[in-house]
């Protein structure tokens, strides 16, 4: 993949939304044969079928999610929003910060699903990035077939306060393979309810 195409995708990935702008992600971009081999070697015994996809990809991204949400992360988000002038009116910034804290407390202590909720933010990022890749003519294959503990250990991801959520292999189709089988999806009347 051309460097400018990669940079476009990374700019897009950086700009993907997250609820209350929590930005619970970190992305490991594997651009070298060594990096991709390190990942392929650490997928876990049950998932070696995905090694070829990673090794043959132009780039593979490890999308990680925070393992917890310390106050220091939230303060960093708020400081960046203030520095970027997201809310020119300081009273609106204060209201936003209060509402965000209340919402995150509800997820953490009320619904008790903060980690699962943060992973949803990661899946929004991967889905939107796949769409952007398609617009740029790049194939994007999401991979869940891996042992997160093994990947976390190989790349010292837990040490950064994150854990591996999903992988995204990027590249172009192999011209030696024929990709003509149709996708299989339910009919629209089984998927959509109009009210």
> Position of tokens 């949803």?
120
- Mean of all residue pLDDT scores within the chain: 97
Do the Cβ atoms of 9 and 125 come closer than 8 Å?
no
Q: Is the dihedral of CA 150, 154, 159, 160 positive or negative?
A: negative
Confidence of residue 153 (pLDDT cuts 50, 70, 90): very high
Predicted confidence at residue 180, as pLDDT, reads 72
Residues 165-187: tens digit of each pLDDT:
999 999 998 888 777 788 899 99
Do the Cβ atoms of 131 and 87 come closer than 8 Å?
no
Strand partners, 22: none
Residues 28-76: tens digit of each pLDDT:
999 999 999 999 999 999 999 999 999 999 999 999 999 999 999 999 9
pLDDT higher than threshold 80 for residue 116: yes
User: Which domains are delineated in the chain?
Assistant: 3-68+116-191 (3.40.109.10)
> Position of tokens 């089984």?
190
131-147: b (≥16 Cβ within 10 Å) or e: ebbeebebbbbebeebb
Can you tell me the mean pLDDT for 95-115? 98
Which three-class secondary structure state does DSSP give residue 140?
strand
């Amino acid at each position: 993949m051309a460097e400018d195409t990669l940079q476009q995708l990374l700019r897009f990935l950086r700009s993907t939304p997250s609820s209350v702008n929590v930005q619970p992600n970190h992305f490991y971009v594997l651009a070298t044969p060594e990096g991709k081999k390190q990942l392929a070697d650490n997928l876990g015994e049950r998932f070696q079928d995905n090694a070829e996809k990673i090794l043959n990809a132009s780039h593979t991204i490890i999308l990680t999610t925070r393992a917890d949400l310390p106050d220091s992360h939230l303060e960093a988000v708020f400081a960046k929003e203030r520095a970027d002038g997201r809310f020119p009116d300081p009273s609106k910034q204060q209201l936003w910060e209060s509402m965000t804290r209340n919402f995150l407390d509800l997820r953490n202590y009320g619904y008790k699903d903060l980690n699962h909720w943060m992973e949803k933010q990661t899946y929004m990022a991967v889905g939107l990035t796949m769409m952007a890749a398609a617009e740029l003519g790049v194939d994007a294959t999401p991979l869940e077939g891996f042992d997160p503990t093994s990947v976390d250990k190989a790349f010292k991801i837990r040490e950064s306060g994150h854990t591996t959520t999903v992988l995204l292999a990027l590249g172009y189709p192999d011209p030696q393979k024929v990709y003509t089988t149709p996708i299989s999806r339910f009919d629209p009347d089984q998927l959509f309810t109009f009210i």
